[in-house]
Amino acid sequence: MSILKKPLVTEKVSALNKRGIYGLIVDDRADKHQIQKEIERFYGVTVHKINTMRYAGKPITRHTKSCVIKGRRPSYKKVLVTLKAGDVIDFYGNF
């Protein structure tokens, strides 16, 4: 199973892409060294710096006609990867 789950495609991260910073959702148990090796192997780029962030799952409540449904959003780990100058990750070109 891969450490990398999916790329982050938001307005804020898309603005950072112009500066060589890319966002990804990764496995919660992965550390920075594992993430760096996986990104360099999968995308063929050189990683300069990695910043990781953990987000806790938040409770959600939805009111319906018959009852109240309670649940929880999943927790996840987000990574902002700064690449070496000149390297680019193309999330859309591999389809």
- 53-87 confidence digits (pLDDT tens): 999 999 999 999 999 999 999 999 999 999 999 99
Domain 4-83 has CATH 3.30.70.260: no
**Residue 21's Cα: distance from chain center in Å?**
12
Structure-token pair, residue 5: 């789950």
- The pTM for the full model equals 0.84
Is residue 22 within 8 A of residue 7, CB to CB? The reply is yes
Which residues are paired to 23 by β-bridges?
A: 80
Does residue 1 register a pLDDT over 60? no
Q: Would you call 75 helix, strand, or coil by DSSP?
A: coil
**What are the residue ranges spanned by the domains of the chain?**
4-83
